[in-house]
Amino acid sequence: MLDTDVIETSPPVLRRTSLYDVHTRLSAKMVAFAGYDMPVQYPDGIIAEHLHTRAQAGMFDVSHMGQLKLFGRAAEAGLERIVSADLTSLRLGQTRYSLLLNPDGGIIDDVMITRYDDHLYMVINASRKDVDIPLIMEAAQSAGGAHEDAVQIMSDHALIALQGPQAGAVLQNFAPQSDRLMFMQSAVMQVAGVPAIVTRCGYTGEDGFELSVANKHALALAEALLGHAAVAPVGLGARDSLRLEAGLCLYGNDIDETTTPIEADLGFAIGKRRRLARDFLGADRILRQLEDGVDRLRVGLMIFGRRPARQGANILNGSGEIIGRVTSGGYSPTLERPIAMGYVAREYGQDGLKLGIDVRGKIIDAQVTPTPFVPQRYRRRNVQ
């Protein structure tokens, strides 16, 4: 899952991930992001990093994301009250995308939840840690019977993403067991000689992994991965363009507490049992939207011409009336043209519909387009 934050212009005190020295050694351009000093790009540039990830394998530092463990059935029951996923059906080693919801059905955050023997492992967005963690801790205690230490915040762990069509082959060199994992499966294993939580997932649309390791091992692991000929370091800039091509939401841009899962086309994140039980926050509103439709919905937009449409640009109908706005937009290195996502009034959500976008006073042509813009290539089955 990618983070939402707008890059900060004058942050107070920036935190550093355990890979900071790798970034500076590789001459990364560092920016303030979600309270951290993070690499936005390396000397080869965003487009080169993007295309390398699509062709080979890119390594991303995503250690600013929050990582937690929840222990015990009571804590799990409490967590299920505030998320959309069906946790009772979550199998050992299975990872599930879910949503933290508010009572009105708005999205507090999008998260990843994995079941292990005696705990649940969660990854949350960096910008939402201060909101999510108190909610999760309160929920874990609210069910009754939960131990006071039921929620463990993994501040001593880094998170490294390895993404791209060669990610699987690369990781096999350091963790042969990783080849057994399919998309959204997870296991603990040795990677380059250090223990890691390895999950076959990511936020680029490519096959790949997220590797959670203790901070003390992160530098050595990153250097080992970068020593492989197929691997290049990739910053936040290409991470954003990759996820946009894959049609994936960025919290704070495409989803927030005013957005429901149905408006955002994330209804799949609501478990079937949860829908039948109507036992999740905002259920009345969300289930009503499922039955009756929504007033607005998230769509993909193919842009004609070379000028990109950025977040906040108004979307217009053929009469020049404002019918929505862009939430994410930029240049697609793979398609070699601008693309965007945004929300439009329901009647303008049909694929193929021609619309206009006001980009600083100039109206550019756009067309409603299915997402993902670039086919996703997750490994869902063994390839012989």
Q: Binning pLDDT at 50, 70 and 90, where does residue 1 land?
A: very low
Q: Binning pLDDT at 50, 70 and 90, where does residue 382 land?
A: low
Per-residue pLDDT tens digits for 331-376: 999 999 999 999 999 999 999 999 999 999 999 999 999 999 999 9
Beta pairing class for 231-233 and 57-61: parallel
Cα separation, 328 vs 364, whole angstroms: 16
Per-residue pLDDT tens digits for 153-194: 999 999 999 999 999 999 999 999 999 999 999 999 999 999
116: pLDDT strictly greater than 50? yes
Average pLDDT, the chain: 95
The alpha carbon dihedral of 161, 58, 23, 3 has a sign of negative
Per-residue pLDDT tens digits for 260-308: 999 999 999 999 999 999 999 999 999 999 999 999 999 999 999 999 9
What integer pLDDT is reported at residue 145 of this predicted model?
62
What integer pLDDT is reported at residue 149 of this predicted model?
83
Over range 132-145, report the average pLDDT: 87
What integer pLDDT is reported at residue 6 of this predicted model?
45
Cα separation, 326 vs 323, whole angstroms: 11
> To 10 degrees, what angle do helices 215-226 and 167-174 make?
120
Q: Binning pLDDT at 50, 70 and 90, where does residue 142 land?
A: confident
Name the more confident of 283 and 147. Answer: 283
CB 222 within 8 A of CB 160: yes
97: pLDDT strictly greater than 60? yes
Give kind and range of the element (H or E) at residue 130.
helix 129-142
CB 120 within 8 A of CB 79: yes
How buried is residue 279: exposed, middle or buried, by Cβ count under 10 Å (0-12/13-18/19+)? exposed
Per-residue pLDDT tens digits for 29-83: 999 999 999 999 999 999 999 999 999 999 999 999 999 999 999 999 999 999 9
What integer pLDDT is reported at residue 383 of this predicted model?
52
Over range 190-203, report the average pLDDT: 97
The contacts of residue 27 (CB under 8 Å, 6+ apart) are 42, 43
Beta pairing class for 66-71 and 29-33: unpaired
Burial 166-201 (b: 16+ CB within 10 A, else e): bbbebbeebbeebeebebbbbbebebbebebbbbbb
10: pLDDT strictly greater than 60? no
How buried is residue 9: exposed, middle or buried, by Cβ count under 10 Å (0-12/13-18/19+)? exposed
